[in-house]
């Protein structure tokens, strides 16, 4: 089982996932040496503190500040955490709508909070689009098989 599969199964609750598209990431970035190359970029799965530091180094913004900004718009982020569907793409079809980067973490089931959190561990994913929009998507571990 890969680190990504473990993360998506709720087995790496202390880790974060950070994805950078090839278009966003410099060819000589040292993040390429740390992460796993994908079809369109680089995915890193790191312990929380290291991952937040890598996110800041790679994007120039704090991970939690980015997450708070992205929470304002719901979109769809691929289960593999390396793509998404920008929520404003239909409103601005002439703009380019490609994921530049994704940041994700998982939160343990918490029945006291209720809602999704009572159903199981929850993946929180946040993406930034080339059009400038940031958006979020969350789901219960095991509810997606795309």
Contact 19, 42 (CB under 8 A): yes
Query: What is the pLDDT confidence band of residue 34, given thresholds at 50, 70 and 90?
Result: confident
Q: What secondary structure letter does DSSP report for 53?
A: H
Tell me which of 2 and 33 has the higher pLDDT: 2
Q: Tell me the pLDDT band of 93, cut-offs 50, 70 and 90.
A: confident
Q: Cα separation of 88 and 23, whole Å? A: 20
Q: What is the DSSP letter of 124?
A: E
Tell me how far apart the alpha carbons of residues 71 and 50 are, in angstroms, rounded to a whole number.
22
- The predicted pLDDT at position 139 comes to 96
In contact, 66 and 59? CB cutoff 8 Å: yes
Neighbours of 91 (CB within 10 A): 10
pLDDT at 76 (0 to 100): 96
Q: Is 42 exposed, middle or buried (0-12, 13-18, 19+ CB in 10 A)?
A: buried
Q: Can you list the positions of beta strands (E) in 6-70?
A: 15-21, 36-37, 41-47
pLDDT tier, 30 (very low <50, low <70, confident <90, very high otherwise) = confident
- Mean per-residue pLDDT, 29-40: 86
Burial of 60 (0-12, 13-18, 19+ CB in 10 A): exposed
Q: Is pLDDT of 7 > 80?
A: yes
Q: How many residues does the chain have?
A: 146
134 pLDDT band (50/70/90 cuts)? very high
Using pLDDT thresholds of 50, 70 and 90, give the confidence band for residue 141: very high
């Amino acid at each position: 089982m890969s680190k990504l599969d473990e993360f998506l199964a709720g087995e790496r609750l202390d880790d974060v996932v950070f994805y950078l598209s090839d278009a966003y990431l410099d060819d000589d970035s040292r993040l390429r040496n740390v992460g796993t190359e994908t079809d369109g970029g680089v995915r890193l799965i790191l312990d929380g503190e290291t991952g937040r530091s890598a996110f800041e180094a790679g994007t120039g913004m704090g991970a939690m500040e980015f997450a708070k900004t992205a929470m304002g718009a719901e979109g769809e982020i691929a289960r593999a955490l390396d793509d998404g569907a920008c929520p404003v793409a239909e409103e601005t079809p002439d703009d380019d709508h490609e994921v530049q980067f994704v940041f994700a973490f998982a939160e343990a089931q918490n029945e006291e909070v209720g809602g999704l959190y009572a159903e199981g561990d929850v993946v929180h994913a946040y993406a930034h689009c080339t059009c400038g929009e940031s958006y979020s998507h969350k789901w219960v571990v095991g509810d997606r098989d795309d």
